[in-house]
Amino acid sequence: MSFVEYGDTIKDGDTAIVFLGHESMFPVKVQHGTVTQTKYGVIRHSTDLIGKKYGSKVTCSKGGWVFILHPTPELWTMNLPHRTQILYSTDISIITMMLELKPGSIVCESGTGSGSLSHALIRTVAPTGHLYTVEFHQQRAEKAREEFREHGVEHLVTVTNQDVCKNGFGVSNIADAVFLDIPSPWEAIGHAKSALKTEGGRICSFSPCIEQVQRTCLAMEEYGFTEINTLEILLRVYNVRTVSLQIPDLGKAAEDNSSIGFDCSNPSNQGSPCPNLQQGTVQFKSSVPLREMVGHTGYLTFATKS
């Protein structure tokens, strides 16, 4: 199993996603002799998972069932253990596009955090690219290394435990893009410039506060970056539902139409009131935004090394 290479069969040691529903799923490490408890009963790894195909429908001990899915960066973002605040697919998608990433790209990242963005970056630059990710916190850096190894992507990423604002990324003039998600990104702009390739490299800084953005933009200008712009991405989800409305009583106009032999089935009369439907209802599909919407996550500031 690898997050960048699809495998058909569930194997011992794989990370799989147990799918109970769109709003209910969780990751599990498949191990021989282990069981996983769900609200539908027990899943026995040896008999229910190992050797089965990804996407299989597995019946639990209480008679309920779940699907076992192959992990992807998108599913991992929704189910990973949170060690820090993470970036979600809405921001990740625009970051990947605006940094112009592709297979073979070299990317520097700080900080690693919970690895949500890291997995997406690795999948984008595979199979010939590389991610250099820097994490200040030692325990988080060690946990990230362990996860990358378990997920079969350790050959595509180098994890470094150091302060990027003081020590940089540990590479020079090779990166196609740099991503910063740290409290004071303006202190790391110089190191980012050193890590980027000689000309044309892209940089992105994620900051929740506009004051951080202002200081970062000033630092970018000071170091000669161009095309500086800041975006905020908001996700608005709609619910599609069936609405039933009573057809209004149009009174005398409808009676007049009926008295002169009004034909409801005639295409030329479409849109006109039909007498025999005056007391009925009509159903149609309608979409409405959710009452609660995900609000501000952070500002994304992009720039190009001139």
d(CA 7, CA 97): 27
**Strand residues in the chain grouped as ranges (E):** 15-21, 24-29, 35-38, 41-44, 57-59, 65-69, 106-110, 130-135, 157-161, 177-180, 202-207, 225-231, 238-246, 281-289, 299-305
163 among the known binding-site residues? Answer: yes
Contact 52, 40 (CB under 8 A): no
222 among the known binding-site residues? Answer: no
Contact 121, 96 (CB under 8 A): yes
135 among the known binding-site residues? Answer: yes
The string of DSSP codes covering 286-297 is EEEE-SS-----
**Bridge partners (DSSP) listed for residue 136:** none
250 among the known binding-site residues? Answer: no
Phi, psi of 276 (to 5 degrees): -75, 5
256 among the known binding-site residues? Answer: no
- The C-alpha torsion from 196 through 197 and 202 to 208, rounded to 10°, is 0
Distances, alpha carbon 91 to alpha carbons 5, 78, 96, 98, 220, in Å: 24, 14, 9, 11, 21
- Token readout for 26 is 């969780």
- Token readout for 202 is 């892209």
Residue positions forming the annotated binding site for S-adenosyl-L-methionine: 114-117, 135, 163, 181
Q: Which residues are annotated as a binding site?
A: 114-117, 135, 163, 181
